[in-house]
Amino acid sequence: MSAISEASGGAVGTSVPTRGERRAPQVVEVGSAVVKIYGRSPGPYTITWRKTATGPRQRTMRAQWKAAKAFATRLARDLANGQTAMSEFTDADRASYRRALELLAPTGQGLELAAAIYAEAVAKLEDVPVMEAIRFFLENRPRGYVPRPIPMLVEQFLNEKRGEISRAYHANLEHQLERLAGDFTGPLHLLTSADLNGWVRGLGLSPRSRHNYRAAVETFTVWARQNGHLPKTWCEMEHVPDPGTKTGEIKILTPDQMISLLATRQRMEKSKRSNIGSLIPFLALQAFAGIRHEEINGDHAKLTWGDINLKERYIYVSKGVAKTGRDRTVPISDNLAAWLAPYERRNGPITEMSQTSDALQNLKELAGVPAHKGETRNALRKSYISYRKAITKNIAMVADEAGNSAQMIRKHYGRIIPESEAVRWFNIWPQTAAVLQLTLFSAPAAVAPSVGATSPDSVIAAS
């Protein structure tokens, strides 16, 4: 039977405590369950109770007496029902129940809620033990991991990469990732493969451009994992197919086409009687050292004469100049040294021409070298990689010199080049301002040619 009485056990007090009146707490009793109400009109009222006789005291508050009384009555009934059930427990059951409450006390969770969470975990994990799942989570979740929104992480990533990679590459990443951050503003770890697939397809770009965007996002997420911004188990990019690019055959120049190109430019320079705006070093560095077009005359930091050491025979491409942001050292072949020597300066740009792409296009047309659409401006660099690979038979070495990856060279430079053609390529020498000398074997100009080699006096006129 429910009753509200004073703590002293006196008469039943059902009236609201009067204003300013100090009274002992009123008690709601249901069976052995006891709930006390403290306070006086006009409120508020504090309600206290213990779930077990030795358990911690709990409390809550209500502004109005009517609400406090209703809550206390309902709570007392619920507690009594639980205690009635416990009367049917065995001693072992009671000990287990009390132990469960003690274990849960530091968490602040009730036994019923804890049991519900555990039951749900078991159901979702099926045959996987709960503790095994917890251990896996703790091993793969970054320590101190705090989810951060994508725009914040993109900004941090770009700031860290500034100065580590070339300006052109950084500008591309900035454009691509800021578009990602504009479309997804939530935490990075919530980004799914379905989100990314839809985003890449919805860009409305060519397969090549979609490939580049996907690569930018992958670079970003790898950085995020390495720096503790993503769990190690996050692998959504694996389920985002690469749109790929239709990589046609790598187009390179033949030795004869290179001779025509250089000879035509020499003839043009001789007629102007000036080396200002010369393209010869520009052409030779691409053809005989594999330097990228944009590394010599791009929109970012450029290779200068100060990076070329003809005496020690090497070119240093710093990470600020290199497209990949990784520095490299390229050896200078004998014929390249001969081409560069007349133009060598202590410092300054390789060429003072600003529109080198247009100049190269016009030069190809004048020299009768393919210059139509699809003939890339890095054809000379690709020629270098192809011929250098044919001579060295060492893909890793060529990749290191060209600032490329061995994987990319294996993928794109599988065409077999006769070694004799490669030897011809690296034996294209200047003789005069208008004529090219071409030895057919690899003897340097300063060394007497071997038996059977074309004499240095034997030349192929380029006119």
The answer on 291 and 264 residing in a single domain is yes
The answer on 167 and 54 residing in a single domain is no
Mapping DSSP onto H, E and C, the string for 318-378 reads CCCCCCCCCCEEEECCHHHHHHHHHHCCCCCECCCCCCHHHHHHHHHHHHCCCCCCCCCCC
Which pLDDT score, from 0 to 100, does residue 18 have?
62
Which pLDDT score, from 0 to 100, does residue 329 have?
94
Going across the sheet that includes 33-39, the strands are 3-6, 26-30, 33-39, 45-50, 57-62
Which pLDDT score, from 0 to 100, does residue 214 have?
92
The answer on 330 and 229 residing in a single domain is no
Q: In the chain, how many domains are there?
A: 3
Which of 239, 271, 287 is at the close of a domain? 239
Does 48 fall in a domain?
A: yes
Cis peptide before 243, with omega less than 30 degrees from 0? no
Assess contact for 20 and 4: CB atoms under 8 A.
no
Please report, to the nearest 10 degrees, the dihedral formed by the alpha carbons of residues 431, 436, 437, 442 taken in order: 110
Assess contact for 196 and 237: CB atoms under 8 A.
yes
Does 333 fall in a domain?
A: yes
The answer on 316 and 230 residing in a single domain is no
Does 24 fall in a domain?
A: yes
CA 443 to chain centre: 47
The answer on 390 and 262 residing in a single domain is yes
Which pLDDT score, from 0 to 100, does residue 40 have?
83
Cβ burial, residue 44 (10 Å; 0-12/13-18/19+): middle
The answer on 67 and 24 residing in a single domain is yes
Assess contact for 360 and 278: CB atoms under 8 A.
no
Does 449 fall in a domain?
A: no
Does 111 fall in a domain?
A: no
- Other beta carbons less than 10 A from residue 448's beta carbon: 10
Q: What sign has the CA pseudo-torsion 403, 407, 413, 418? A: positive
Closest by CA position to 291, among listed 331, 260, 261: 331
Distance of alpha carbon 115 from alpha carbon 98, whole angstroms = 14
Please report, to the nearest 10 degrees, the dihedral formed by the alpha carbons of residues 275, 278, 280, 282 taken in order: 140
Does 203 fall in a domain?
A: yes
The answer on 345 and 420 residing in a single domain is yes
The answer on 393 and 335 residing in a single domain is yes
The answer on 405 and 290 residing in a single domain is yes
CA distances from 417 to 252, 334, 396 (A): 11, 21, 17
Distance of alpha carbon 308 from alpha carbon 316, whole angstroms = 7
Does 290 fall in a domain?
A: yes
Strand partners, 430: 436
Q: Which residues contact 236 (CB under 8 A, 6 or more apart)?
A: 191, 192, 193, 196, 221
Which pLDDT score, from 0 to 100, does residue 463 have?
29
pLDDT by 10s per residue, the chain, length 463? 344 443 333 333 445 666 655 567 888 888 778 899 998 888 899 999 887 777 788 889 998 988 999 999 988 888 877 665 656 667 887 788 888 888 888 888 888 888 888 888 888 888 888 888 888 777 666 566 677 899 999 999 999 988 777 777 888 899 999 999 999 999 888 889 999 999 998 988 888 889 899 999 999 999 988 888 887 778 888 888 888 655 556 788 899 999 988 888 877 776 665 554 578 898 999 999 999 888 887 556 688 999 999 999 999 998 888 877 788 999 999 999 999 999 898 898 888 777 777 788 888 888 888 776 556 668 899 999 999 999 999 999 999 999 988 888 888 888 888 999 999 999 999 874 334 444 333 333 333 222 223 333 333 333 2
Backbone angles phi, psi at 338, to 5 degrees: -65, -40
CA distances from 4 to 17, 29, 37, 51 (A): 13, 7, 10, 19
Which of 189, 212, 239 is at the close of a domain? 239
Strand partners, 46: 38, 61
Which pLDDT score, from 0 to 100, does residue 440 have?
34
Does 51 fall in a domain?
A: yes
What CATH number does residue 417 fall under? 1.10.443.10
Which pLDDT score, from 0 to 100, does residue 447 have?
32
CA-derived radius of gyration, the chain: 40
The answer on 174 and 41 residing in a single domain is no
Which pLDDT score, from 0 to 100, does residue 102 have?
87
Domain that holds residue 296: 255-438
Question: How many residues are there in the chain?
Answer: 463
The answer on 306 and 214 residing in a single domain is no
What CATH number does residue 213 fall under? 1.10.150
Which of 239, 263, 292 is at the close of a domain? 239
The answer on 283 and 320 residing in a single domain is yes
Which phi-psi region, left, alpha or beta, contains residue 328 (left: φ > 0; alpha: ψ -120 to 50)? beta
Distance of alpha carbon 157 from alpha carbon 63, whole angstroms = 52
